[in-house]
Amino acid sequence: MTSTVRRAGAFAAVGTLAFVVPVAAGLASPAVATVAATAPFLAVAFFAMFAIGPDTPMFDVFARPGDYEDGRLYGLAAFALAAASLAFLAIQFDLPVWVCVATIITVAYGNFGQRLAHRLHSDEVVATAGFVVAGFACGTAAAVIAARTGAGSVAPATALFLAGTGALVAALFRSVLFERDDPLVVLSVGLLLWLLFELDPAAGTRRVFIALGVSAVLGYVAYALDTASLPGMLTGVLLSLLTIVLGGYGWFAMLITFFGLGGLSTKYQYEAKQDRGIAEENEGARGSGNVLANSIVALVAVLLWAASPSHIAVDPTLFLYAFAGAVAAAMTDTFSSEFGGLYDNPRLITTFERVEPGTDGGVTWQGIVAGLVGAGIIAGIAAATLEVVGPTGAALIVGCGFVGMTVDSVLGATVEGTVVGNQGVNTLATLAAALTGVALALAASLV
CA distance 438 to 319: 7
CA distance 425 to 194: 31
Q: Which residue has the higher pLDDT, 87 or 66?
A: 87
Q: Is the pLDDT of residue 284 over 60?
A: no
Q: Can you give the length of the chain in residues?
A: 447
Q: Is the pLDDT of residue 45 over 70?
A: yes
CA distance 31 to 207: 40
Lowest-pLDDT range of 245-254, 299-308, 392-401, 417-426? 417-426
Contact by Cβ (8 Å): 136, 44? no
Q: Which residue has the higher pLDDT, 286 or 315?
A: 315
| Helices vs. strands in the chain: H and E counts, helices first | 19, 2
The answer, yes or no, to whether the previous bond of 391 is cis (omega within 30 of 0) is: no
CA distance 282 to 34: 49
Condensed to tens digits (0 to 9), the pLDDT of residues 141-151 reads 999 999 888 76
CA distance 176 to 186: 15
Which whole number is the average pLDDT over 262-290?
A: 71
Q: Is the pLDDT of residue 80 over 90?
A: yes
CA distance 119 to 11: 17
pLDDT at site 231: 80
Strand partners, 347: 354, 363
- HSE (CB half, 13 Å, CA atoms) of 125? 13
Q: How far is CA 113 from the centre of its chain?
A: 20
CA angle centred on 245, ends 425 and 323, rounded to 5°: 30
Helices 97-120, 74-92: crossing angle, 10 deg rounding? 150
Which helix (H) or strand (E) covers residue 347, if one does?
strand 347-348
Q: Is the dihedral of CA 139, 141, 144, 150 positive or negative?
A: negative
C-alpha dist (Å) from residue 346 to 93, 183, 207, 358, 361 = 57, 49, 46, 9, 9
CA angle centred on 398, ends 242 and 434, rounded to 5°: 45
- Amino acid code (one letter) for 378: I
CA distance 44 to 100: 18
Q: Which residue has the higher pLDDT, 305 or 272?
A: 305
Query: Residue 126: which of 13, 224, 37, 263 has the closest Cα?
Result: 224
Query: Residue 440: which of 432, 365, 367 has the closest Cα?
Result: 432
Q: Which residue has the higher pLDDT, 167 or 362?
A: 167
Mean pLDDT taken over the chain:
88
